[in-house]
Structure 1
């Protein structure tokens, strides 16, 4: 279902696009499950998935998707609009369940396996998910069991984790890790569970579901937990298909076979769902998976598979750069690494370049845009420190934060987005919709600028902006300066209340192993790199800095910790 994009206003990026990419190319809105099943028929013998050495061919993948979809319909009455929650790490089970839910007409609700039961209860309760798919690993099943027992979810589909493993690893797991498996048959909610293996063993008849790609919700993705309870971004079939098509066109065939894409980022996160799963599989490429990030496991996977494309987050790239010469051989197969999820520092770029010649391309997106908005070129280098240019069919503008007027080229403002990948809105939250859109443009909350060649540069988040003595101070500027110190491994800067200035910056620093530095050392190093307003009031050293569940450095916990610490000090005083 191709769609021709419309011309609305001057776009400086068009004349400076990578050779071979057209902004006004047709965007394919065919739902992703239809695209994948067509690939399964066209290349049945090609390997689709590699999970710890166990390979699944497209023929098997297509068969299991069809059978699981039919079983969801017949056993759980899944149809258009039914919400089905996935509480799964990266495994073949996730891939099958995701596309089967869409095939049956349902809506995927992704759940982070590391969430607490109350956090999961909010997501499944708000979404109205009636069925949840999970593993029989105790750490997951126990949470799912609680949700069913508490009435948050009606039914469970339970996947037997050893079934995902190659024969030798399966036998070893049963011998050495049996205690990690839940006794599902003995559970008090056993009568409300179904075995995944039983469901795909049946060759039931699928009831066709007529979808409207522009209106029907494919994925309800929860986001925004740092500013209150997570909100459910409703992503239509067309939103997800459009972003997949946009990335594919931007990559100029990068994701076509014989490409092998590393999926170490979790599929339940929107970046991995799109870049690590939808884009490669719907192009017929192979996806090699890890259930979680471990350095040795990742390096072993790269050595074994020769994978050449890897979406990643900056903390993962930083860790690879720190791995040193021992990682060089394993990383030699990589040709392109796409960084997303958080800003990529110069320090991280430099470290990674020492261990890998791969093209390191920074992209940018947000859940509400399915998620990719901009990306550096994937075949040739882009401007340093830029997040690249808007993807085909994507419009952007920058708006002055104070006046709301469009910002001129080179002037800072809030980045706002239009395009076929932008969500329908938040589920059952009209107030949040009003805040998210301005005259039909999606507000990102990110501050940056557009240069004369259409390259986008981000400065910081509006919510992270520090206003000190009436002037705007951007934490990212301070972080970049501190990262330049040879002893600094990670740094995060927050704004804290200041009686005299209103707000003041405070830096939290993690040092590299076997190095030393104190507050005076760091301040002396950055003295000529920052102005007086940007100089941190305090530098606090930590052995670890908090991260989100996909590995982004997180400021939320540090703000709360700092407020509690200062509060307790004032009480003592």
Structure 2
């Protein structure tokens, strides 16, 4: 969708505050991502592309694997334009090869979280009409693929032998100590519908050319988190993906080019990591250092071993680093950390600054925008607590959530977006697609405002908004106040039914290890920071707070838990 022109009614105050050297106008041909990565491979075939637990893959090796798998996908499975291929893989070379091979063959990638339940995966496989799935032979994943095949939702499975991704010594150790973690694929009930990844590469097929309409053909069908219902498949065209890559590339001012090294601890099946941790660096010839899952020691070891300088993270990951016993010299190579996926609390920012001199920038995006919309500057400091400025080629506005009136500078409303990264719509869901837009603008569901300098500030999610005695109460405001207490480690605030006020806030708090404090003491601490309507009716202490599978704090489970508690909506005396 084209961006609107700047007018008196639609100003772009951010234009005069862009970092030096960055233009808002986007100069990009939106070349499909698989073509870009293959071009990077051809340019520097001997350079390292991937590092997985110390095992490396060169750009030349990556290209040969992509081409071979793409050819085999076409010839053996008939993959062509419109074919949906499900990837149920953690961060491994298998994911990277499969992703680009599916696109080169003309297919559409459907990302599946390996930690999803069979029920959740069933919905995605069924809705996406993905007959083919690529996964690992680790029991915890293969057994889910097996169940999907037996349910008739997937017809064929390509299985990657996990030890093949490991460097020689680690491979031997794995086969010695953890062989029982591998599924006995040959004895599986679906053995006849399984093909081995290595066998497909060994065929060394050459794929047929595919003519891509970059503005219409779907590269990735990315399913939303489903926090408010069943996940929906956001259709991201080749142009959407490439546009967001170009936007991030321009915003980085060279950050994602060699000699940089990007750490990929966030999973590639998540849209943020797929774009910023994989697509952008690899297409620029920059190596990606992968971890299959977050482990603090393993992450620190990566910095020590590789001297990586760019980290894409979520706030809980940054907090884990900040509160650990990491020595500053261990992560001294880190130059820039970008936080996304959830609001970055000021306390986490302050704690992280004590262990790292890296510039910590906050970004913002959503699946439907491929995903990045705004970001703090990556080379110079930005306004504290802001999610930064709209990326090049991106327009934003704020609309009153009650009246639909476009708001002025500093006036709160729902953030809405236009730009070349905005999705084509939801797969087979015209009603949801209509509801996702207002006058051609993508509705984000986030409430905030833009200041006179064009910096964007978010207050909260519309669905998380608490209306107490007719007043809007934003959980994030309460969470920030509680996080200021030194004994509070994590906090999540939800709204619950209240017969007097309609709704009332309830805070769930995880304290730092070994700490104790009473509910009354915490309420006293925040009393001067919040107005009467914002004060939580209850503070409930928990040993752990639920998180999504990329580490974001999640309110969904707490709402369900609270509704099942005795005295579901304990009323004030």
TM-score by length of 1: 0.98
CA contact (8 A) 1:388 1:456 kept: yes
Shift of 1:280: 0.4
* C-alpha contact (below 8 Å) 2:562/2:568 kept by paired residues: no
Question: Partners of 2:218 and 2:329 in 1: how far apart?
Answer: 44
Q: How does 1:486-497 map to 2 (within 5 A)?
A: 486-497=486-497
CA spacing shift, 1:569–1:214, aligned 2, 3 Å = closer
**How is 1:359-378 mapped onto 2 (pairs within 5 angstroms)?**
359-378=359-378
CA distance in 1, matches of 2:151, 2:400: 48
Partner of 2:238: 237
Unaligned runs of 5+ in 2: none
8 Å CA contact 1:5–1:25 kept in 2: the answer is no
Summarize deviations over 1:461-503 as a string: whole Å, max 9, x none: 0000000000000000000000011100000000000000000
Partner Cα distance (2:529, 2:559) in 1: 25
User: How far 1:568 sits from its partner (Å)?
Assistant: 6.8
Deviations 1:88-136 (A, max 9, x none): 0000000000000000000000000000001001000000001000000
CA distance in 1, matches of 2:438, 2:533: 32
Name the CA distance, whole Å, in 2 between partners of 1:80 and 1:262.
32
- Counterparts of 2:359 and 2:240, CA distance in 1: 28
- Which structure 1 segments of 5+ residues have no match? none
1:45 aligns with 2:52: no
Q: How does 1:302-313 map to 2 (within 5 A)?
A: 302-313=303-314
Corresponding residue for residue 85 of structure 2: 84
Which residue pairs with 2:534 in the alignment?
534
Q: CA deviation at 1:419?
A: 0.2
Whether the 8 Å CA contact 1:488–1:512 is kept in 2: the answer is yes
Separation (CA, whole Å) in 2 of partners of 1:168 and 1:205: 33
TM-score (norm 2): 0.98
The whole-number CA distance in structure 1 between the counterparts of 2:362 and 2:214 is 29
Tell me what 2:518 maps to.
Answer: 518
Hey, what's the Cα distance between the residues in 2 that align with 1:139 and 1:167?
23
Residue 296 of structure 2 is aligned to residue 298 of structure 1: no
Note if contact 1:365-1:371 (Cα within 8 Å) is conserved in structure 2.
yes
Indicate if the aligned counterparts of 1:4 and 1:24 stay in contact, CA closer than 8 A: no
What is the DSSP-based 3-state SS (H/G/I as helix, E as strand, rest coil) of the residue aligned with 1:225?
A: coil
When structure 1 is superposed on structure 2, of 257-266 and 18-27 the one drifting more is 18-27
Matches within 5 A, 1:246-325: 246-324=247-325
**Matched residue SS, 2:13:** coil
Give the C-alpha shift of residue 221 in structure 1. 0.4
Check whether the contact 1:110–1:222 (CA below 8 A) recurs between aligned residues: yes
Aligned 8 A contact 1:446 1:459 in 2: yes
Runs ≥4 residues deviating over 6 A: 3-6
Q: Give runs of aligned pairs for residues 387-402 of structure 1, distance below 5 A.
A: 387-402=387-402
What is the CA distance between 1:7 and its match in structure 2? 3.1
Equivalent in the alignment of 2:562:
562
Q: Which residue of 2 aligns with 1:113?
A: 114
Q: Are 1:5 and 1:26, in contact at CA under 8 Å, matched by a contact in 2?
A: no
State the alpha-carbon separation in 1 of the partners of residues 39 and 238 from structure 2. Answer: 16
Q: Kindly indicate whether the alpha-carbon contact (under 8 Å) linking 1:361 and 1:377 is maintained by their aligned counterparts in 2.
A: yes
Q: How far did 1:224 drift?
A: 4.1
Where 1:126 maps in the other structure, the secondary structure is helix
Change (3 A) 1:396 1:426: same
1:476 equivalent in structure 2: 476
Residue 332 of structure 1: how far off its partner (Å)? 0.8
Aligned equivalents of 1:149, 1:567: Cα separation in 2: 43
Question: Does the C-alpha gap of structure 1 residues 165 and 435 become closer, same or farther in structure 2, counting only changes over 3 Å?
Answer: same
Kindly state the Cα deviation for residue 5 of structure 1 after the two structures are TM-superposed. Answer: 6.7
Alignment of 1:4-153 (within 5 A): 7-9=5-7, 10-153=11-154
- The 3 A distance-change label for structure 1 pair 416 and 6 is closer
User: In the alignment, is the contact (CA less than 8 A) between 2:510 and 2:545 conserved in 1?
Assistant: yes
Query: SS of the counterpart of 1:37?
Result: helix
1:195-210 → structure 2 map (5 Å cutoff): 195-210=196-211
Matched residue of 2:85: which SS? strand
Q: Corresponding residue for 1:408?
A: 408
- Residue pair 1:239, 1:423 contacting (<8 A) in 2 also: yes
What does the per-residue CA deviation read over 1:444-472, in whole Å, with 9 as the maximum and x for residues that have no partner?
A: 00000000110000000000000000000
- Deviation, 1:567, is 5.8
Q: What is the Cα deviation at residue 27 of structure 1?
A: 2.8
Do 1:320 and 1:327's aligned partners in 2 also have CA atoms closer than 8 Å?
Answer: no
Query: Residue 381 of structure 2 aligns with which residue?
Result: 381
Alignment partners' CA distance in 2, 1:490 and 1:28:
44
- Distance in 2 between residues matched to 1:400 and 1:422, nearest whole Å: 21
The yes-or-no answer on 1:449 pairing with 2:414 is no
User: C-alpha distance in 2, partners of 1:341/1:458?
Assistant: 13
Cα shift at 1:329: 2.2
The 8 Å contact of residues 507 and 538 in structure 1, kept in 2 or not, is answered as: yes
Deviation of residue 171 (structure 1)? 0.6
- Cα-Cα RMSD: 1.2
Distance 1:39 1:485 in 2: 48
CA distance in 1: counterparts of 2:327 and 2:119, whole angstroms? 40
The alpha-carbon deviation at position 202 of structure 1 amounts to 1.3
1:500: which partner in 2? 500
Question: C-alpha distance in 1, partners of 2:412/2:331?
Answer: 37
